[in-house]
Chain A
Amino acid sequence: MSEYFALLIGIIIGLAALLQEDFVLTLLYFVVAAYALSRWWSGRALKAVVVKRIFNNRAFINDKVEIHIEVHNSGRLPVVWLRLHDSLPVELSGSEIFRRVVGLGPHATQRFTYTIQPPRRGYYQVGPLYLYSGDLLGMAEEEGRQGHIDYLTVYPRVMSLTKIGLPSRSPMGTLHHHQPIFEDPSRVRGKRDYVAGDSLRRVDWKASANLGRMQVKQFEPSIALETVILLNLDRDDYYYRSRNDATELGIVVAASLANWITAQKQTVGFATNGADVQSMAADGRAPVLPTEKGRAHLMRILDILARIQTTEKQTPFIQLLRRQRVHMAWGTTVILITGDVNDALFEELFIARRAGLDIVLILCGHVIAADEIKHKAQHFGIQIQQFASEADMDIWRR
């Protein structure tokens, strides 16, 4: 478009030079000023636009997430028109797409809200917000600018579980234990008179002063029994026809179990061979979360479960188990969520069991040799559960 105005300017200058007419310069001033100011205005006005996106960056599936967009013109020049377009990933394409065309006066602010409803778990990029503006006369091309990118973490579905038949030998967490291997100094059972050989750390100085003779504290025997969830996300370990559903089901089971264990005020750890988009590791594997308790820790687990993706033969599940087993305390309950169990894995599970770990196997999706696996698990004394769909988890909800 600007070439036509260049043509006009050329005509004016040429004729003015040829015919020596001064008044044509007025026209020249007008056209050049219109051209220059028009371009300058649109470019400068767009630079002064500040955009803010405010939203709750964590949500559950099908939650309605309101995204508030604030557009502020920090400059003194008005923005004649501003086209806004917030880009969303394909997975969220079913949600409302934010597009607006507005005009902004000097120092004016406009706020908009749109809603997205994530249909599945994930770590979604929200943005960038594209801003386009232009001039009044169409002399300059549309100018664009990108806003910042935000991320929305959508947690997997968390089923509310009520009754989980975990091995009775390992009551969850720091509960009373009948085997006096360790004593818990926070659980005072009573006091007795001091006898030679008692540790001075056990002396109850207040009680000794009160009674006039040395008293030592007696502690309840206990052991920190922990639960570690190991999730297999190697695609090859799932039946190929139901791979996607089975891995998603595994994630739902892991999230639900972590939620239930945390609700029981017990410690839970988590490890997987899946890939995490936010991983610091070079191979992109998800971080291992050591056993801890509390809501914050549960949210960390859910964060990983939201972002996690399946891998192909990156880290075999058996290798993950081997690597994690050495860090597990005696009596730890290990919940393995997988789509298949081969003999090598059974062998590793047997070793783990002999090392004092309680094993719970959860098979997700369609498993071809399910009966054989169940038979072997019974043989090794391993508790096993199979879920073909989320509905099967109802046995833990009754």
Chain B
Amino acid sequence: MTETRANTPSDRQVWSRALPIFVNYAIVALMMTCAVGVVVGVIQALSSSWNGAYLIVVCFIVAFEALYTARVMRRIAFPSREWASYRIGEVVSIMILLKALIYIMRGAGQFLIDLPKWQHDFLVSFFTGEYLLACVLVLVVYLVCNQFANDLFELESDDATLERERKNDFRNNRAASHKQLTLKVVLVAGVMIAVTLMGRTFLRIIGGGAAAASIDQEGMPSYALGLLAYVVLGFLLLSLTRLAALRAAWYRERAPISPDIAWRWALYVVVFLVVIALVAMVLPTHYSVGLLQLLRYAAGLLISLLQIVIYFLLLILTFPLNLLMRLLGNSPVTPNRPPPVMMMPPPASPDQPTGANPLLDLIQSILFWAIFLFVVGYALSQYLKRHSALLASMRGIPLLNWLMKAVSVLGDWLSRLSGQVTAMVDAGLKRLRAQAELQARMVSPARRLNLRRLSPRERVQYFYLAMARRGSESGLGRKPAQTPREYAATLDSATPEVNNEIDALTDAFIEARYSRHDITPIHAQTAQSYWERVKSALRKKKSAV
């Protein structure tokens, strides 16, 4: 009994193992949902009568199912009869359920109408265009999820798995799996971008000028947000799986892992991705028209140049052949002339009427180009850093060398500037803090004092000192050489109506300050009553002055 208990994993262990798997599956399912959302969005834009919103939900469920099944199926040998029957059964079930769902959405009447048709021409009437499209989408999701599931399984790194690997001296190549996963995420993203862009282009073509104008004015379409969500989720998945891969490596090294790493990681990655996504959405894209035209123009120019080069090469190669043909009396072979270089006009400057406020346009334009140049510069610097040989050879070219030196000087200047700005900000913050502290100190300590926390002796002393402070505010400040009684005489002469109170408070202070016997709370209360009367008298005097 005890042994059974010892071998049974605790709830916490089960959760610690299941939670990362569940989270990863949920992210992949959501990614697939986003991907399908994008495709559905594009198709809906092309065919407004079609409503494929249900496919988004279906694909989420199918993705989850596919991931789970792929995990379960690892126990079954491949290829085997059992494996094939399981898989075929699964796919057929999905397709039937999908058909059923379509009928549920359309109503039972449609089913009853279609049912007799199946008997006559099953293939045509069962596999309708809409159903086929839905099947294709669902099957693609199913296959992609199976691919993701393999990598996710390899990347699992719960304690039990890692301990088993350690015991059996076997290890999964998690780094390779992570790389594979990254490639798959990137490829799916690429396909989605291509689908979206082609869909929009197709929409422009079939819609004519009005449609193109409305698309251009639309800005970011809703399904593009799905694309962005897919990329964000993809990055989240890559981050979490990276943690899994690292965790496995740390476990192998027997390095104790701080328990807060996992939640810190999750927190940081979510904040990081959300912030970047928000920034990316806020940054301007309107002025990219000129840039993209420029890029297309450059691409066209490059292609034309290549064509010229090929033409000349062919000309050189065919020249001896032509001579031979002339000798034989045949017409010479001439390669096709290259088309004229596509001399497109330079991109339009962003002075087109894009907005009501030209200043805002200018700021957006500057911001855009600054960001773009930064991106290009950063990418180039990263590339050159990785290819030191290329960098060295580039230094040999005088113009490039000069340019690199100029960039280096600019970089140094910016770095210095950044340092100076940081120093200035730090100095400013320090000054502000110092001022705040000074102000806090300037506030009378009496106002921050908690009388209840003082002992009766301290309270009596406090009331006397408060009297001295009030006195000094009324122009009756205590001189350093004055004894308490001498000071009392000064106050007496100025406020004769509270003579007795001043003398009594002074006596109480002397007793509290110089005696050793206990000062009772009653003493303190009496001193407080004296002080309040003296205070009101001094206030009156002050207002009179």
Chain A residues in the interface with B (C-beta under 8 A): 1-2, 4-9, 11-13, 15-34, 36-39, 78, 80-81, 83, 85, 99-103, 105, 134, 136-138
Contacts and interface: CB of A to CB of B under 8 A. Distances in A.
A126 to B, nearest CB: 18
Contacts of A138: 178, 182, 238-239, 242, 245
Interface residues of B, number: 63
A100 B255 contact: yes
B193 A12 contact: yes
Given A25-B288, A32-B375, 8 more contacts: A4-B179, A22-B288, A25-B285, A26-B224, A30-B231, A39-B382, A78-B264, A102-B258
Interface in B212-241: 219-221, 224, 227-228, 231-232, 235, 238-239
Contacts of A99: 253-256
Contacts of B178: 1, 138
Instruction: Rank and list the top 8 A-B pairs by shortest CB-CB distance, nearest first.
Output: A17-B295, A99-B255, A30-B280, A29-B280, A138-B242, A25-B285, A22-B285, A103-B264
B519 interface: no
A6 B193 CA distance: 15
A85 B238 CA distance: 26
Interface of B: 178-179, 182-183, 186, 189-190, 193-194, 196-198, 200-201, 219-221, 224, 227-228, 231-232, 235, 238-239, 242, 245-246, 250, 253-258, 260-261, 264-265, 268-269, 272-273, 276-277, 279-281, 283, 285-286, 288-289, 292-293, 295-296, 299, 371, 375, 378-379, 382
A30 B277 contact: yes
Interface of A, helix, strand, loop or mixed by DSSP: helix
A376 to B, nearest CB: 58
B293 A20 contact: yes
A58 to B, nearest CB: 28
17 contacts: A1-B178, A1-B182, A17-B292, A18-B296, A23-B221, A25-B288, A29-B283, A29-B375, A30-B231, A30-B276, A101-B256, A136-B265, A136-B269, A137-B235, A137-B239, A137-B269, A138-B242
A239 to B, nearest CB: 42
B171 to A, nearest CB: 17
B255 A13 contact: no
A201 to B, nearest CB: 62
Q: Which of A18, A23, A24, A99 has the most CB of B within 10 A?
A: A23
Given A4-B182, A21-B197, A27-B231, A83 B255 contact: yes
A11 B183 CA distance: 13
B283 A101 contact: no
Contacts of A19: 197-198, 200-201
Contacts of A2: 382
B233 to A, nearest CB: 12
Contacts of B268: 78, 80, 136
A15 B281 CA distance: 19
Contacts of B250: 83, 101
Nearest to B215: A21
B325 to A, nearest CB: 41
A2 B179 CA distance: 10
A20 B289 contact: yes
Given A103-B260, A136-B272, A34 B235 contact: yes
B197 A24 contact: yes
A4 B185 CA distance: 9
B265 A81 contact: yes
Nearest to A110: B258
Given A1-B179, A20-B293, A33-B276, A27 B239 contact: no
A83 B288 CA distance: 43
Nearest to B182: A4
